[in-house]
A and B are shown apart, each in its own frame.
Chain A
């Protein structure tokens, strides 16, 4: 099983914690209190390996750090985006300036981390406030605007709704697939190098893969 560190960044009250809770617990709270510091959650997903011939699903685990958006906690963020495999930069599609805050985060990530392998995903939340025709469209950030920016910066881009759950699973699924892809390539190249350096070494697998089966004693 692979483990990936994932961090959520973004302005306060854009819905970071709501997205995480939708993904991890599949629940939504209308009156969520604002996060203090950074919260930790984990969730596993299954990925079907399309390239290899095996039909078995691969399980990957996300260690999610949900940071607080308030300015006060900004100094904590570097600790959590450092060594992260993926960063979800969330903005609120009904708030124009939350997008500019998100862009600031993207810049900070690119400057401070500078890791090619870090997957940054731009995520517009609160889609449910926009597509209801009878209640008036509250959208302030056009999809195209964000999409163009995401393509420029080479980011993944999605619009989701934590309230309805629309798109949330897909985001994590696609991030997982991408991370898995990267990991596999890395391992393949490593293997190749190892194989090249020590052809006769015997690999003993010490770690038995966790079953992630609640009925099992090793859960």
Chain B
């Protein structure tokens, strides 16, 4: 709090009077102003981040100003919210508007701030944001009680919550931030070019002589200070990046690009001595004029903080990585992904065709040959896709990864494809073969189904619907078997042997029935 008053102090001090920077009220001493700011304007938060160590501080300040203005507006409105639409308790209005309960001490007696009707406590529990005219204002309004009807009738209300469109706001903020970032980058780039060119020039001019070194370093240090203003050593107590306090062991260093004072801790990596050649080679798009990597002393390096390196080089590295062609593994992974998309797209199509055929079959209508041909084509396509999926999966698992990242990608693709296979390929088994002749080699994917008759869509002489019914029955029977088994266990514990006999008989019966249905289902049962 103290720092805030100080930073804004240069304005109010006039004729020994202090003026509030928000509402222009005057005060006799700092303490009063402080109190006024805290309680009337709500500055008791932690907004004292104005003195940000980095040069990005000035960009933030604008946002803070608008926040203050918002706060001011909201608090101003609170006091002025209209009440003349409020109904007063009277003989006509002595019951709750909704539940008709009498309004009294126990039930409560509250006006809905929006419609003004009188409600009991229970029926006026919703809250919404209203402005001074008791209108819905989702941004600047104050949270007040309202009735359920007003609550659900407000603009943008949904059962799952209200919708407030903040996209434009977000866009402007983001745009602003991006502009700031670009500006910052441009500034740093210009400084880097100036610095590297200048150092190269100085080094070239003076040659490599040992006794020149003092003059050279002096010249360079002068150049560095002209490129960017160095921050004052005395003001810096902590490293702005890692927040450790400077001392005998942790020395202060200036970043040659942004001028801020950072530490040289090897573990936090706040700043580094980076050779000029590295800096220039990593940013070849910058217009260096004097710099020549062959002639410049390769050992010469300048100190740059990690933030500047991040701003300057992360984007460049990313762009360069993208330009490089993807590795074989990644190419395979991409094609396997495309294949999985193809397979999942064909599924619903094929299923709908099969359903149409089945429906036609039910109505004993003559089969549509085009439909069946299409279904056959789709099935072929699906099988081919699944086959190549299998091949690709095997290829990916047989590859030897070059680094840890590739190994991770390989592993996750192996997991994903195994899940995909168990999901889809198992379903593949339940696709009816469109010809009974290929029933024998159903297991292999090379089957070439040909349509002969509509009624051929059967498995083990069961239609799809019968299979469904049988599976359901089997499931119920297995459930019951489990139940009876647990009943037998219970009966054994309670020594009810005559019950066990009955249950045992039932269990045998169940097992027989389960076996019967499993035989009927054949391969279509659960395994």
Interface: A38 (CB within 8 A): yes
Contacts of A72 in B (CB 8 A): 472, 476
Contacts of A3 in B (CB 8 A): 498
Interface: B242 (CB within 8 A): no
CB contacts under 8 Å to B, within A47-77, are 61, 63, 72-73, 75-76
Contacts of B502 in A (CB 8 A): 40, 42, 63
Chain A interface: which of B151-159, B162-170, B445-453, B479-487? Answer: B479-487
Contacts of A40 in B (CB 8 A): 484, 487, 499, 502-503, 506
Interface: B510 (CB within 8 A): yes
A37 touches B513 (CB 8 A): no
CB distance from A136 to the nearest CB of B (A): 23
Contacts of B496 in A (CB 8 A): 42
Among the listed A42, A61, A63, A76, which residue makes an inter-chain contact with B480, where contact means beta carbons less than 8 Å apart? A76
Interface: A206 (CB within 8 A): no
CB distance from B479 to the nearest CB of A (A): 6
Q: How far is the CA of A73 from the CA of B513 in the complex (A)?
A: 14
CB distance from A151 to the nearest CB of B (A): 33
Contacts of B483 in A (CB 8 A): 36-39
A73 touches B476 (CB 8 A): yes
Interface: B477 (CB within 8 A): yes
Contacts of B473 in A (CB 8 A): 75
Contacts of A76 in B (CB 8 A): 476-477, 480
Q: How far is the CA of A73 from the CA of B476 in the complex (A)?
A: 6
Q: How far is the CA of A204 from the CA of B265 in the complex (A)?
A: 103
Interface: A79 (CB within 8 A): yes
A75 touches B476 (CB 8 A): yes
B499 touches A37 (CB 8 A): no
Q: Which residue of A lies closest to B517 (CB)?
A: A75
Contacts of B510 in A (CB 8 A): 79
Interface: B523 (CB within 8 A): no
CB distance from A186 to the nearest CB of B (A): 21
CB distance from A126 to the nearest CB of B (A): 27
B476 touches A79 (CB 8 A): no
Bits for B481-522, please: 1 = Cβ < 8 Å to A, else 0. Answer: 001100100000000101100110010011001000000000
Q: Which residue of B lies closest to A75 (CB)?
A: B473
Q: Which residue of B lies closest to A38 (CB)?
A: B480
Contacts of B476 in A (CB 8 A): 37, 72-73, 75-76
Q: How far is the CA of A39 from the CA of B503 in the complex (A)?
A: 10
Contacts of B479 in A (CB 8 A): 36-37
Contacts of B503 in A (CB 8 A): 40
Bits for A1-41, please: 1 = Cβ < 8 Å to B, else 0. Answer: 00100000000000000000000000000000000111110
Bits for A95-113, please: 1 = Cβ < 8 Å to B, else 0. Answer: 0000000000000000000
CB distance from B87 to the nearest CB of A (A): 38
Q: How far is the CA of A154 from the CA of B51 in the complex (A)?
A: 97
Q: How far is the CA of A3 from the CA of B476 in the complex (A)?
A: 28
CB contacts under 8 Å to B, within A68-96, are 72-73, 75-76, 79
CB distance from B467 to the nearest CB of A (A): 15
CB distance from A81 to the nearest CB of B (A): 13
Q: How far is the CA of A204 from the CA of B399 in the complex (A)?
A: 82
Q: Which residue of B lies closest to A1 (CB)?
A: B498
CB distance from A215 to the nearest CB of B (A): 14
Q: How far is the CA of A73 from the CA of B474 in the complex (A)?
A: 11
Q: How far is the CA of A99 from the CA of B509 in the complex (A)?
A: 30
Q: How far is the CA of A61 from the CA of B499 in the complex (A)?
A: 11
CB contacts under 8 Å to B, within A163-202, are none
Query: Known interface pairs A40-B502, A40-B503, A72-B476. Does A79 touch B509 (Cβ–Cβ under 8 Å)?
Result: yes
Contacts of A75 in B (CB 8 A): 472-473, 476-477
Q: How far is the CA of A210 from the CA of B503 in the complex (A)?
A: 19
CB distance from A41 to the nearest CB of B (A): 9
Q: How far is the CA of A73 from the CA of B510 in the complex (A)?
A: 13
Q: How far is the CA of A38 from the CA of B93 in the complex (A)?
A: 59
Q: How far is the CA of A40 from the CA of B485 in the complex (A)?
A: 12
Q: Which residue of A lies closest to B488 (CB)?
A: A40
CB distance from A78 to the nearest CB of B (A): 10
Q: How far is the CA of A42 from the CA of B496 in the complex (A)?
A: 10
Q: How far is the CA of A28 from the CA of B480 in the complex (A)?
A: 24
Contacts of B484 in A (CB 8 A): 40
Q: How far is the CA of A154 from the CA of B487 in the complex (A)?
A: 35
CB distance from B470 to the nearest CB of A (A): 10
Q: How far is the CA of A75 from the CA of B517 in the complex (A)?
A: 12
CB distance from B104 to the nearest CB of A (A): 30
Contacts of B509 in A (CB 8 A): 79
Contacts of A38 in B (CB 8 A): 480, 483
Instruction: Tell which of B477, B480, B496, B510 has the most Cβ of chain A within 10 Å.
Output: B480
CB distance from A4 to the nearest CB of B (A): 11
Contacts of B477 in A (CB 8 A): 75-76
CB distance from B487 to the nearest CB of A (A): 6
Contacts of A73 in B (CB 8 A): 476, 480
Q: How far is the CA of A3 from the CA of B503 in the complex (A)?
A: 14
B513 touches A79 (CB 8 A): yes
CB contacts under 8 Å to A, within B73-131, are none
Contacts of A36 in B (CB 8 A): 479, 483
Q: How far is the CA of A38 from the CA of B499 in the complex (A)?
A: 15
Apart from A37-B480, A75-B473, 14 more pairs, CB < 8 Å: A36-B479, A37-B483, A39-B487, A40-B499, A40-B503, A42-B499, A42-B502, A63-B502, A73-B476, A73-B480, A75-B476, A76-B477, A79-B513, A210-B498
**Can you name 10 A-B residue pairings with CB atoms under 8 Å?**
A36-B479, A39-B483, A40-B487, A42-B496, A63-B499, A72-B472, A72-B476, A75-B476, A76-B476, A76-B480
Which residues of B are interface residues toward A (Cβ below 8 A)? 472-473, 476-477, 479-480, 483-484, 487, 496, 498-499, 502-503, 506, 509-510, 513
The 8 lowest CB-CB distance pairs between A and B, nearest first, are A37-B480, A75-B473, A37-B483, A63-B502, A37-B479, A40-B487, A73-B476, A42-B499
